[in-house]
Amino acid sequence: MSDPAATKRLYIKTYGCQMNVYDSERMADVLAPLGYGVTEDPAAADLVVLNTCHIREKATEKVYSELGQLKLMKQARAGEGAEMTIAVAGCVAQAEGEEIMRRQPAVDLVVGPQSYHQLPELIARAHRARGERLAADFAADEKFDALPTERRPTGVTAFLTVQEGCDKFCTFCVVPYTRGAEWSRPAEAIEAEARALAEKGVREVTLLGQNVNAYAAPDDEKGGGLAALVRRLARIDGLDRIRYTTSHPRDMDEALIAAHGEVEELMPYLHLPVQSGSDKVLKAMNRAHTAESYLRLIDKIRAARPDIAISGDFIVGFPGERDADFEATLQLIREVGYASAFSFKYSRRPGTPAAAMQGQIAEAVKDERLARLQALLEEQQAAFNLSQEGRVLPVLFEKAGRHPGQLIGRSPYLQAVHATAPDRLLGQIVPVRVDSAARNSLAGVLELETA
């Protein structure tokens, strides 16, 4: 246990998106005052929290198989006279609720993404083996008000949730059902959290939201959007880098595009999912943009910030996707040139409109399309990395590398960069000359190492 004041061990496993990573950190913050210190060993844990993801079927199934393993560990601990409390948090908790406890009775409590500030109470109740074991409502504001203002950042980069929920209702997606309606935190509270992080040595924050660029400050009469928030946070001393994720093309407004050209702290990297390059499929997905409007948007963003690295999400095998639709996606990818990307086979999610659509695609076809799509995206990522060779990039060193004397950091474009560097450069932004590029990372040497 890293915290000497801790008397009990907490193991948290995080699935899915970065918002869950943030939530897991905050759960540890909520539980710290109760004496819980984080352990990496589930078998030794007094409390296990699985922070789950519901977005694709595979993600959900992983949770149940993990719960099967935990049940055995719980029994082993009981044999030694020790207890293990098992909590399921996150989007599977929200979507399936008590069903989880029926399917796996070793689970003691279920807590949705908006209710984890109630964890201490729920745990106490579970220990008394009675009362409410399920908390899954949608009041995000209550949660943020109830969370401790203190955060215990573990490094020089941190996530900061600014927005939750989604009103877009893409026909394949469970998020509008599991995370509820779009809701933004007050800018003042976000600024306070960012300042506190900067005071603790955080140099880079990633602003998080399911639809982060739909951010609308509830405490700003002018309806300050994400651009205004970014400008506000950019003024904080010590906070040198700002990123945000995930965005919808529909909410990419002029002010935000302008900020990319003007705010030095806003990093030249944008995750802007398009999902498909076929207008027919985009319409069936209810995406509210076409391939052409997405491409023109990318043009505008590149006009504001020519070196920006573009990343995206793609789904292959959406119901009704023909070969020609898939080819249109490959064509769009060729036109954009992605620096990185995430791609998935369509997964049929019960309760979403696409699950009931005609023309579901055979698994073998999805596999074949995904392989072709990923080959193209990997080629583009490798080419993007290669284009950095010989360049000097400012790298924020985040942690020790695998080899002694080596540090790992990130370029402005979110690439991992390895370099031989002294430990005192941890947390510093240092010029590094890139001398070799691999598919997933860069290697370089310190430029002008003087001091």
215 is in an annotated binding site: no
How many other C-beta atoms are found inside a 10 Å radius of the C-beta of residue 351?
10
Does the protein bind ligand 5AD through residue 349 (CB under 6 A)?
yes
Token digits for 33?
């005052």
Query: Which residue, 20 or 388, has its beta carbon nearer to ligand 5AD?
Result: 20
The residue type at 49 = V
Check whether the bond before 149 is cis (ω within 30° of 0).
no
Which residues are at the interface with ligand SF4 (CB under 6 A)? 166, 168-170, 173, 175-176, 210-211, 248
Query: Which residue, 62 or 168, has its beta carbon nearer to ligand SF4?
Result: 168
Vertex 341: Cα angle to 337 and 347 (nearest 5): 130
Q: Which does 169 bind (CB under 5 to 8 A by kind): ligand 5AD, ligand SF4, none?
A: ligand SF4
> Measured between alpha carbons, how far is 189 from 163 in angstroms, rounded to an integer?
12
- x-marked contacts with ligand 5AD along 299-318 as a string, rule CB under 6 A: --------------x-x---
Query: Which 74-133 residues touch ligand 5AD, going by CB under 6 A?
Result: none
Query: Which residue, 288 or 446, has its beta carbon nearer to ligand SF4?
Result: 288
Residue of 55, 33, 36 lying closest to 45 (CA atoms)? 36
How many other C-beta atoms are found inside a 10 Å radius of the C-beta of residue 72?
11
Query: Which residue, 313 or 447, has its beta carbon nearer to ligand 5AD?
Result: 313
Vertex 372: Cα angle to 371 and 377 (nearest 5): 95
Cβ 248 to ligand SF4 shortest distance, Å? 5
Q: Which does 257 bind (CB under 5 to 8 A by kind): ligand SF4, ligand 5AD, none?
A: none
Instruction: Please name the residue that has the structure tokens 């796996």.
Output: 104
> Measured between alpha carbons, how far is 177 from 173 in angstroms, rounded to an integer?
8
Does the protein bind ligand 5AD through residue 413 (CB under 6 A)?
no
102: Cβ contacts below 8 Å, ≥ 6 apart: none
Query: Which 236-275 residues touch ligand 5AD, going by CB under 6 A?
Result: 273, 275
* CB half-sphere exposure, 216, CA atoms < 13 A: 10
Q: Which does 346 bind (CB under 5 to 8 A by kind): ligand SF4, ligand 5AD, none?
A: ligand 5AD
Binding residues for [4Fe-4S] cluster: 17, 53, 91, 166, 170, 173
What residue ranges bind ligand 5AD (CB under 6 A)? Answer: 55-56, 172-173, 273, 275, 313, 315, 344, 346-347, 349
